[in-house]
Structure 1
Amino acid sequence: MNFSSDNVTGACPEIIEAVIATNQGPAMPYGADDGTARVEKMIADIFGCQPDVFLVATGTASNALALAVLCPPYGSIYCHPEAHIQVDECGAPEFYTGGAKLVPLADRDGKITAADLAQALASEHGDVHHVKPSVVSLTQAAETGVVYSIDEIRALCTVAHANGLKVHMDGARFANAVAALDCAPADMTWQAGVDVLSFGASKNGAIAAEAVILFEPDLAGQFAYRRKRAGHLFSKMRFISAQLEAYLKDDLWLTMAAHANQCSQTLATALGDLPGVTLNYPADANMIFATLPNKVIAGLRADGLAFYDWPGETRSTIRLVCAFNTKMADVETFIASARHHSA
């Protein structure tokens, strides 16, 4: 039983079936196929607007290329200290922007805040010796497992736009956040002020499929060239599109995310009741960061349960992630093992 990541999973059956189905017969290349057009319309309908949509295969590509159209080489990108773009993308944002600087803001209970962004920008006065504040990037759901409220997103966007910055949202677990807030996708994106969304599916049942959704007009022309130059304009784009079409059809994406969230919250509630266990952040979505006694961690591993020790925390902090196909029986097995070794 593996709670290490939502990347350890396979793909959901509906997506596998869609990929097999699209393999029948020819289709026009480079995104000129009917499936890609259908996905673009589905995304427009889901978000209630007419964004420009570009499909890619990885979250790193989605983030890095999105930031590249928002930030000049001499610009800065404000983000959380544990943001994926800051610690897990091997300098891809810096590379694809041509040298932009990532500037971490303070961690406030797993998030960044509008107040800290405003304070950071107050000391910037257009000095040519400094990088130019250009973008704020927030992750929804965050890498810490928490979910920004719509008001928190709107506040960050208001400060950003008032100071001439654009707003990027890393939505690798966007579905989990929508399911957690039970809101319309538009509510926490373009209607709150987000300019570009990296819309993830790979962590929630897809094989490899992401979409960059540009709510800001006039970015599409530049993005098309950047995607091609980065090697993410797939000749057989229909295989990316087929995944996303199945993912979005009949709200499958939200059903799978809600299941992952429920498993995580069941696990978090039980762990929080155990002696010596601290939940480092609220388990708003499908991730848990918990500090446990070392003997409990050792016992869990001896019982065949897999998870990550979390770098940057104490040795007794672990991360647990539930996914679209996590079995509630496995959650109960984990809980029983933790209770046994806590006794």
Structure 2
Amino acid sequence: MRFFSDNAAAAHPAVIEAIARSNHLDTAYDGDALSQSLDRAFSELFETDVRAFWVLTGTAANCLALAALCPGYGGIICHKDAHIEVDEAGAPGFFADGAKLMLVDGPGAKLSAESVDAAVGEVRKDVHQVQPKALSITNATEYGLVYSAAEVASLGEATKRHSLNFHMDGARLANAVVSTGASPADLTWRAGVDALSFGFVKNGGLNAEALILFRTELADEIAVRRKRAGHLASKGRMFAAQILALLENDLWLDNARSANAAAQTIANAAGERLIYSVEANEIFVRATAAEAESLRAEGFDFYDWGPDEIRFVTSWDQGGEPVDQLAAAIAAL
């Protein structure tokens, strides 16, 4: 009964079937019909012209985007608990030729326009300090909170005030869309986002993520950077096939609804033990070391997050008995 990460979830059967259908001789790299159809598919989803690229990991999607949005001598404002800071082993600086992450605090790993204004204001406007050039946020955040369309738009206005480019890490964008009820367009480019890392692996994909450019003029640079980074896979059609399968008939949203609903079941059982409100598919719970051990003894797998804090993550394929059992076990502590 594993609740340690949605990265470990099964690939959806529709994804496996789509890969099997793509398993035939075709043009290599991204010249195949499936890869070439991504621009159109995502342009329809986001209600505007975009350029879309498959990549193999969320780290690559994040860092390729940031490399195009921030020069090597610039800074990227992000939360101190952002994935690009805590879980990517310095990859943003590696991909972006030394660009610096400029860390900001905020409850639930969320940033606000005010915190961005303050971060920019602390930097002297001279050659002796790194100047901020981009902003990166995560939706849903590393603590499972979501940005509403209005909150993203407020941050978008801040990026305009300070001439910053705007990136969104959407590893769990599907969960945020379901939670807010906002359209993908309203959560991204209409709110000022320039580039989006669109997560699929956590939501039923096998090994394909998408990098979406709302500023389409960046596409040529991304194409070169993807190749240079070793992410131009030979059989690109198999990555495109996964993404298209999840977009078809809004399967990506159905999967996120299942994960979010499972999280709410556990949240309802946790009650006052909750550390953050549960707005997507992550649940942070107060529990002593002894209580955590008792849950593990019952067969539940999860992360210890801090002193007397544990984290559960639900997946698209995890409804029913395991979720109900975990909810009962937490309620019984």
Task: Verify the 8 A CA contact 2:304 2:310 in the aligned structure 1.
Answer: yes
Distance in 1 separating the partners of 2:117 and 2:309: 32
Q: CA deviation at 1:26?
A: 1.6
Q: What whole-Å deviation, never above 9, does each CA across 1:289-318 have from its counterpart, x for those lacking one?
A: 1111333212111101110101xx31x101
Aligned-CA RMSD value: 1.1
Offset, 1:283:
0.8
Deviation at 1:125, TM superposition (A): 4.3
Does structure 1 residue 320 correspond to structure 2 residue 319? no
Aligned to 1:95: 94
1:183, distance to aligned residue in structure 2 (A): 1.6
Q: Which residue is 1:120 aligned to?
A: 119
Q: Summarize deviations over 1:241-296 as a string: whole Å, max 9, x none.
A: 010010100000000001100100111111115xxx2x121110000111113332
- Consecutive unaligned residues of structure 2, counting only runs of 5 or more, are none
Q: Is the 8 A contact 1:299 1:337 kept in 2?
A: no
Q: Between Structure 1 and Structure 2, how many residues are aligned?
A: 333
Are 1:7 and 2:7 an aligned pair? Answer: yes
Greater mean alpha carbon deviation, residues 87-96 or residues 324-333: 324-333
- 2:300 pairs, out of 299, 302, 305, with 305
Deviation at 1:141, TM superposition (A): 0.6
> Which region of structure 1 is more displaced relative to structure 2, 325-334 or 64-73?
325-334
Q: Which residue in 2 is equivalent to 1:289?
A: 284
Query: Counterpart amino acid of 1:4?
Result: F
Q: 1:214 deviation in Å?
A: 0.8
How much does 1:31 deviate? Answer: 0.8
Partner in structure 2 of residue 152 of structure 1: 151
User: Which letter maps to 1:308?
Assistant: Y
- Pairwise mapping of residues 180-199 of structure 1 onto structure 2 (< 5 A)? 180-199=179-198
Runs of 4+ in 1 over 3 A off after TM superposition: none
Residue matched to 2:65: 66
Q: Partner amino acid for 2:120?
A: L
Distance 2:122 2:329 in 1: 51
Which stretch has the larger CA shift, 89-98 or 116-125? 116-125
Q: Hey, what does 1:179 align to over in structure 2?
A: 178
Alignment of 1:1-343 (within 5 A): 1-23=1-23, 25-272=24-271, 277=273, 279-310=274-305, 313-314=306-307, 316-340=308-332, 342=333
Unmatched tracts of structure 1, length 5 or more: none
Rounded to whole Å, the distance in 2 between the matches of 1:215 and 1:39 is 14
- Shifted more, 135-144 versus 209-218: the winner is 209-218
1:40 is displaced (CA, Å) by 2.2
Note the C-alpha offset of 1:160.
1.1
TM-score by structure 1 length? 0.95
CA distance in 2, matches of 1:110, 1:128: 30
Query: Match of 2:37, SS?
Result: helix
Describe the SS at the equivalent of 2:174: helix
Equivalent position SS for 1:224? helix
Distance in 2 of aligned mates of 1:328 and 1:192:
37
TM-score (norm 2): 0.98
1:145-171: per-residue Cα shift (whole Å, max 9, x none)? 000111111111111111110000001
Q: Report the residue type matching 2:182 in the other structure.
A: C
Decide whether the 8 Å contact of 2:157 with 2:192 is kept in 1: yes
Q: Which digits, 9 at most, give the CA deviation of each residue in 1:187-224, with x for residues without a partner?
A: 01000000000111011110011111111142111111
Partners of 2:259 and 2:319 within 8 A in 1: no
